[in-house]
Structure 1
Amino acid sequence: MSSVLSNYTELQELFLNISRNDNSDTGAKANGFWINMQRYDFFFMLSLLVKLFGHIDTVNIALQRKSLHLEEANKMISTLVTSITFMRNNLESFWGEVTSKCQDMDVDFPKLPRRRKVPKKYDDSINSTVETFTEVCDKYRRLYYKTMDTSISFLESQFKTQSFMFVNQPEQFLLEADYFPRSAAFKLGSNGQRSSCLSFHDTLLHRSDIELLTGPYWLNDTLISFHLNTYKGVIHESKRLLFIGPEVTQCLKVSPFEEINVFLDPLNAKEYKYIFLALNDSDIVETTGGTHWSLLVYCKLEDTFFHFDSSSGFNNHHAKVLADGLSKYFSPIAKSVFIEAPSLQQTNSYDCGVHLLCNVDHIIGVSKQCKSLRDIGLVNRMIVNTKRMEILGLIETLSERVNKNLMYIVCILSDLLYPLYTMHGIVH
């Protein structure tokens, strides 16, 4: 559908040419397609479904991951429902956007449907239920809300079922137990050594992720997200620092300006003084990936984007694309300033992610004392050289907390859940 929408005018011309030059059934069908594409109803509904399915497809791809656990899936669906609800409350913006595009395309302007006469064989009671619209937008408002409400209702009916919640509750108890700060699910491998995994906030670390810290390997998006999530547990300054992980940053980079608020408004992003974005050079919509990490920081007080790149110039284009889109969101009147900030340069091809995290640490440490991020100086190279071991130590500490309490939790769960499993016929 997105391909149809992005090539709408070209398809109109194609169908019109076929209908004029082909007198067969193919020409008649092409004429029918061309007539439909001239109707505002068709264009409105196509635009709506492309916008809606864009969010649904992103979550659908994420739900196919083999490493996904129920709690993570539940959060994805909740976030999707929140996004659709937010879209539902922004009909006026969508209406204005679609209507303005009609002026540039061969699409009829919206108008009230012709009122049809009710056949005499129907009585007055039925006649009174015939739907009429007094304003041209009333019809499309009803269609818009019905589409959104149906989508939300379907998602909740599929993922908020009694069976889903029954299975999810034990897992959620393990992942969010108050015995340790939202970290859990650490387990032993068959050889007695620690293997996957550690769950912390919205990030699930596997053994393969942790092994990237032990050698000359490029840090993946999971490790970047994990480390950014650790700041949430130790930084309590209200509305000062906001950390946006690779997944959301990627969505912001590839999304049109009109959809940026869907990601940032639920985070109340405009209320924060500093916003940290983990940026990579990938152009793929569905995944993060890429070959190089850098850090983009927005300073609200200076209305300036600072780009910290450990391989100077490598991510400049991607950083400017992201900053241009966000600038319209944070500063709609005047374009925000973009600065390539001085950054310690990496001495190998794989430590860009480490530099990103060290830059975050450095900015957090000195931002209170410095009036501008222009004056923060460079990261100490010794800190970069020891960062991998620091992260491994943090993972070890969190894992030990889990290990001390895991057996106690399992015993409690066994006593609590055995009657429920017996009741549902899971055990006999």
Structure 2
Amino acid sequence: MNEQSAVPRRGEEVVLSFGDSLLRQSDVELLRCCGWLNDRLIGFYFEYLERIGFKDYAAKVCFVTPDVTQFVKLHEGDDAELRIFLEPLALHTKDLVLLAVNDNQSNTHAGGAHWTLLTYWRPGNLFECYDSAGSVVPAPARLCSVKLTRFLGAATSPTFEVVDCPKQENSYDCGVYVLMFAERVCGVKLQGKTASLLSSITADCVTRLRIDTLALIQSLCVT
């Protein structure tokens, strides 16, 4: 669970500074077996996909950081404060928007036990939810889509669908599945790839991504 790893140890040295992402050793350790990924790791990987993995599509795609997603999901009141966070993202200009949604119900305390991927695809005016736990309609993702809709610039309200996708085999890999879903969705939507999520993502792929992400962080540390 992320409760045990959300707060860095006092005085802990930064392992990697990448764009707006800072990773400490306790964050990196979560990539080893059985670690529940926290918002800093997911934010880093989203930033990596945005800056390097899909940099040629920067005008078309937006990876919303987990902290902004959490704020959007739980925000109450008028739109003025939300607009401060969202206007710089220019969501109304993007074909594809991706958000990692946590089920934590607090804006002030770390918590939560599950991540889902929520995407908005402008050409279809469609929200799609990818949930490795197999929820029928994950409430946090649905709530986030409602809050986000008025900032997308769509002529009509988007539809919302839960996508049939691979299911995790344990209680801790949801964050890794979100990373894999995000990368595959970008490949399909932006690059025209045709690989099915059901056939291209397996438990072995998830284990491999943990290892590959550790290696990625190590490589960025020395560049």
Q: Normalising by structure 2, report the TM-score.
A: 0.85
Provide the residue aligned with 2:192 in structure 1.
369
Change (3 A) 1:336 1:67: farther
Partner amino acid, structure 2, of 1:394: L
Report if aligned partners of 1:294, 1:307 keep a CA contact under 8 Å in 2.
yes
Change (3 A) 1:305 1:358: same
Change (3 A) 1:324 1:344: same
- Whose helix fraction is larger, Structure 1's or Structure 2's? 1
3-state SS of 1:213 partner? coil
C-alpha separation between the residues in 2 aligned to 1:332 and 1:204? 34
Q: Normalising by structure 1, report the TM-score.
A: 0.46
Change (3 A) 1:226 1:334: same
Any idea what the Cα deviations from partners look like across 1:46-91, whole Å, max 9, x if unmatched? xxxxxxxxxxxxxxxxxx98879xxxxxxxxxxxxxxxxxxxxxxx
Report if aligned partners of 1:274, 1:300 keep a CA contact under 8 Å in 2.
yes
- Whose strand fraction is larger, Structure 1's or Structure 2's? 2
Any idea what the Cα deviations from partners look like across 1:78-107, whole Å, max 9, x if unmatched? xxxxxxxxxxxxxxxxxxxxxxxxxxxxxx
Provide the residue aligned with 1:306 in structure 2.
128
Provide the residue aligned with 1:225 in structure 2.
43
Matches within 5 A, 1:317-396: 317-331=139-153, 334-367=156-189, 368-369=191-192, 376-378=196-198, 379-381=200-202, 382-396=204-218
TM-superposed deviation, 1:266: 1.3
Which sections of structure 2, spanning at least 5 residues, go unmatched?
1-6
Which sections of structure 1, spanning at least 5 residues, go unmatched?
1-63, 69-188, 190-194, 402-428
Give the total of aligned pairs: 210
TM-superposed deviation, 1:323: 0.8
TM-superposed deviation, 1:233: 2.2
Provide the residue aligned with 1:253 in structure 2.
73
Q: Which has more radius of gyration? A: 1
Find the partner of 1:294 among 113, 116, 135: 116
TM-superposed deviation, 1:330: 2.0
C-alpha separation between the residues in 1 aligned to 2:74 and 2:9? 25
3-state SS of 1:224 partner? helix
C-alpha separation between the residues in 2 aligned to 1:334 and 1:270? 13
Matches within 5 A, 1:72-221: 196-221=14-39
Query: Relative CO higher for 1 or 2, CA cutoff 8 Å, sep ≥ 6?
Result: 2
Any idea what the Cα deviations from partners look like across 1:248-267, whole Å, max 9, x if unmatched? 00011011362432221111
C-alpha separation between the residues in 1 aligned to 2:85 and 2:22? 21
Any idea what the Cα deviations from partners look like across 1:288-308, whole Å, max 9, x if unmatched? 531100100001111110000
Report if aligned partners of 1:221, 1:288 keep a CA contact under 8 Å in 2.
no
C-alpha separation between the residues in 2 aligned to 1:361 and 1:304? 18
Change (3 A) 1:315 1:212: farther
Kindly report structure 1 stretches of 4+ aligned residues shifted beyond 4 Å. Answer: 64-68
Report if aligned partners of 1:279, 1:295 keep a CA contact under 8 Å in 2.
yes
Change (3 A) 1:210 1:282: same
TM-superposed deviation, 1:229: 1.0
